[in-house]
Chains A and B, each alone.
Chain A
């Protein structure tokens, strides 16, 4: 069995998707199309069968209806008897992540024969999972006091990012944390209360079933000319967490921005 992912253009090409609102309780009609690069080869007279799973990159809580159309897209044969087939196909949800999966059984025969690509078009009605991460960023107004609670004044000064977290141990070396930026967050609200300011952020559709860590990077406006290092530290919620179809959101990942002055 091989697994292909629509997020990798070397595995699936011509990827296109539409998402229509059916107007009924968060139900969506999705049409997902692409050409999967299965690259099966045969160099003997045996009949070869293979199961290919395409990860479709859409997450759902409930798969209500589906219809999948699969066909040959690229085949080759070297003047021998041959079989090229796309057989049984089904659409399902990954039980862990809720990602839509297209499973197709292929058959190939010929000396030589190749089934390089197959095409698919999947129509589903689903109840979407809308995963998100949210929290607050708090700082003393002495570091930066915006002129008003207008989000546009604060958003450029705060970079919020959901990162993939990995613990890497190089051969013969010390283990270290590796963060790979995946998706940025948005500042959605700003409060100014006395000597404190607070920005609320939200990250929509972060990766599921992936170890995540949120980071906040303050802009140069924080601290002004007062010197010292400006840092944002996490003060609430798990540092590393994983979103699943059963728990698709994580709230209250809060940060505090402070100034460290070394004397």
Chain B
């Protein structure tokens, strides 16, 4: 282990029996609506986040809060002006696993959604877990419906080009991160879909699985 007896989150992840995908993107669905004012858009977006902290568990009930990012960025966001919005957000356990018999608690206690300082939609999660001395993992699905206002595109906006499939790019690029390749190879799982701790931009997410 990298740090004495304390496994890194990546080592804990690599020790789990199910190497769940850590790179997942979710579509952002925009539905035009006529109201209530001032809203003109109904957005549906999902996200995923951890329900364990990916460490060698030690019997203690562990409460933790974190922010789960999504792929929804409010068009026309101005950081000087708080955007009006209404939302309906929830989260559920979608995966749970352990390396051995263990008493456990796995909980989403509270979840809500908000626009961060850059206009990205995110979910604030209060979670808790408790495990005996095992490696354990659990994740949650989050879902938000958001009423918001987005200005229509200007007719003068230049158009063209094509969109990139960054999900495929991110998966490929992850394999180039030395620490990930090393850990997976050490566990004989080099072909597993990688990755630990990536947020929706493909960068390492300090909120996920730390």
Contacts and interface: CB of A to CB of B under 8 A. Distances in A.
B42 interface: yes
Nearest to A78: B103
Interface of B: prevailing SS: strand
Interface in A110-126: 116-121, 123
Contact of A79 (B33, B107, B132): B132
A108 interface: no
A75 B157 CA distance: 51
A218 to B, nearest CB: 34
A71 interface: yes
B112 to A, nearest CB: 6
B131 to A, nearest CB: 10
A127 B186 CA distance: 59
A117 B90 contact: no
B90 A13 contact: no
A34 B88 CA distance: 8
Contacts of B34: 21-23
Contacts of B111: 14, 35, 119
Interface stretch (B14-22, B141-149, B170-178, B199-207): B141-149
Contacts, number: 111
Interface string A9-30: 0000110111111110000010
Nearest to B100: A79
Nearest to A74: B107
A114 B106 CA distance: 10
Given A73-B91, A75-B107, A20 B132 contact: no
B92 A119 contact: yes
Contacts of B39: 20
Task: Give the one of B35, B39, B90, B93 with max A CB within 10 A.
Answer: B90
Given A20-B35, A71-B94, 5 more contacts: A13-B110, A21-B36, A33-B143, A73-B91, A76-B105
Interface of A: 13-14, 16-23, 29, 31-35, 69-79, 116-121, 123
The 6 A-B pairs at the shortest CB distance, nearest first, are namely: A71-B92, A74-B107, A33-B90, A21-B35, A31-B88, A31-B145
12 contacts: A14-B90, A14-B111, A18-B87, A20-B147, A21-B33, A23-B34, A31-B88, A69-B143, A71-B94, A75-B107, A79-B103, A119-B90
